A and B are shown apart, each in its own frame.
Chain A
Amino acid sequence: DVKVTQSSRYLVKRTGEKVFLECVQDMDHENMFWYRQDPGLGLRLIYFSYDVKMKEKGDIPEGYSVSREKKERFSLILESASTNQTSMYLCASSLAKTGANVLTFGAGSRLTVL
Chain B
Amino acid sequence: QKEVEQDPGPLSVPEGAIVSLNCTYSNSAFQYFMWYRQYSRKGPELLMYTYSSGNKEDGRFTAQVDKSSKYISLFIRDSQPSDSATYLCAMSVGDDKIIFGKGTRLHILP
Binding site for B on A (CB under 8 A): 4, 40-43, 45, 90, 92, 96-108, 110
Contact = CB atoms under 8 A, between A and B. Distances in A.
B97 A107 contact: no
A101 B34 CA distance: 10
A43 B43 contact: no
Interface stretch (B9-17, B45-53, B60-68, B71-79): B45-53
Contact of A42 (B31, B34, B46, B102): B102
**What are the 5 tightest A-B residue pairs by CB atom distance, in nearest-first order?**
A105-B43, A42-B102, A100-B32, A43-B100, A108-B43
A102 B97 contact: no
B102 A103 contact: no
A105 B51 CA distance: 21
Interface residues of B, number: 24
Interface of B: 8, 31-32, 34, 36, 41-46, 49, 51, 88, 92, 94-98, 100-103
Contacts of A99: 32, 51, 94-95
Contact of B97 (A4, A96, A97, A101): A101
B98 A103 contact: yes
Given A42-B101, A45-B97, A99-B94, A105 B44 contact: yes
B51 to A, nearest CB: 7
